[in-house]
Amino acid sequence: VRILILAGSTEASALARHLDRLGGHDVTVSFAGRTRAPVPVPGTVRVGGFGGVDGLVDHLREQRVDALVDATHPFAARMPWNAQQAATAAAVPRLRLCRPPWAASAVHPWHDVPDLAGAAACIEELGAERVLLTTGRQALEPFARLDRVWFLVRAIEPPDPMPIADAAVLLARGPFVEAEERELMRAHQIDLLVAKNSGGDAAAAKLGAARALGIPVVMVSRPAQPSGPAAETVDDALEWIAQTECGQDSAG
Ligand SMILES: NC(=O)c1ccc[n+]([C@@H]2O[C@H](COP(=O)([O-])OP(=O)(O)OC[C@H]3O[C@@H](n4cnc5c(N)ncnc54)[C@H](OP(=O)(O)O)[C@@H]3O)[C@@H](O)[C@H]2O)c1
């Protein structure tokens, strides 16, 4: 059974490892190629875009893919839509694997904003001066105009170019620990945390730390997702794959 996993999330790598342990699957894991040192995964690895919907349709047909699992990051804006359209055109079953978002804590100042520009506007409204920015190195431009704010930018790889003039960069990859997150916020006298609502455990520690220190959170909401079969956990994705295989066996 040939499975194409569109990667870019913790769940994508975890699914590839589970399928490898189960055996009986020919798994290809596809990366966009943004990260220079992606987490190693079993199976065949391919890197780089497909060339839009048409390119992905060609790939699905040429590689005779039986099932497509779109496990791109919750903030991947384009790929989930390409995957939906290409899977429909090539008549390949598709699942969107996307972990649930974090829920706002009732006792914590939490400001939902629709996008990065909204986050920048919210920083101004709140009058923050020292911001921990965890939205990723490719999401910095909207904050460049805030010249009265100092940013601590945390990212996996260095921003290049760095559009924000008054900022320090901290290179780090999760999972993070709450006590260390508290210490980081204290040490840098952070008065506001800006995050994307990625969900999951690996990056949740900063929310607990902010709550404990009474630091408000500006949370960027996720982009819209295409309709169709969806799973929130790797176990649910494995279940969908098993059912898809059964369906194909009985159809064949
Ligand atoms: N956006 C984030 O906050 C974020 C955070 C962590 C990880 N990521 C991961 O980084 C990658 C790029 O993010 P993005 O926000 O630029 O996504 P995007 O807007 O959805 O994708 C842009 C283009 O990158 C290519 N692409 C994306 N994911 C791919 C994959 N798994 N395999 C092959 N090509 C892929 C596609 O090119 P073609 O049209 O040429 O096929 C797609 O049209 C995604 O895989 C995502 O999962 C994103």
Per-residue model confidence as pLDDT tens digits over 119-135:
999 999 999 999 999 99
Tell me which residue has its CA closest to atom 3 in ligand 1.
75
Tell me which residue has its CA closest to atom 14 in ligand 1.
76
Tell me which residue has its CA closest to atom 36 in ligand 1.
49
Per-residue model confidence as pLDDT tens digits over 57-116:
999 999 999 999 999 999 999 999 999 999 999 999 999 999 999 998 777 899 999 999
- H or E stretch at 105: none
Tell how strand 26-31 and strand 44-47 pair up. Answer: parallel
Tell me which residue has its CA closest to atom 39 in ligand 1.
52
Q: What is the DSSP string of 62-73?
A: HTT-SEEEE---
By C-alpha distance, which of 60, 74, 78 is closest to 5? Answer: 60
Tell me what pLDDT residue 37 has: 76
Tell me what pLDDT residue 57 has: 98
107, 116, 152, 175, 199 from 122: Cα distances, Å: 19, 10, 17, 27, 21
Tell me which residue has its CA closest to atom 44 in ligand 1.
8
- Residue 72 Cα to ligand 1 middle (Å): 7
By C-alpha distance, which of 12, 1, 10 is closest to 70? Answer: 12
- Percent of the chain residues past pLDDT 90, beyond the cut: 90
Per-residue model confidence as pLDDT tens digits over 200-214:
998 999 999 999 999
Q: Is the CB of residue 75 less than 8 Å from the CB of residue 198?
A: yes
State which of 3, 70, 72 you would mutate to test the pocket of ligand 1, scoring each by most atoms of that ligand within 8 A of its C-beta. 72
pLDDT band at 246 (very low <50, low <70, confident <90, very high): confident
Q: Is the CB of residue 212 less than 8 Å from the CB of residue 195?
A: no
Burial class (CB in 10 A: 0-12, 13-18, 19+), 17: middle
Per-residue model confidence as pLDDT tens digits over 6-50:
999 999 999 999 999 999 999 999 999 988 777 899 989 999 999
Average pLDDT in the 224-242 region?
97
Tell me what pLDDT residue 251 has: 58
Mean pLDDT of the chain: 95
* Residues whose beta carbon lies within 6 Å of some atom of ligand 1: 6-9, 30-32, 34, 49-52, 55-56, 72-73, 75-79, 82, 136
pLDDT(222) > 70: yes
Tell me what pLDDT residue 204 has: 94
- Residue 55 Cα to ligand 1 middle (Å): 14
pLDDT band at 250 (very low <50, low <70, confident <90, very high): low
Per-residue model confidence as pLDDT tens digits over 105-121:
777 899 999 999 999 99
pLDDT band at 252 (very low <50, low <70, confident <90, very high): low
> Quick one: how far is CA 110 from the chain centroid?
20
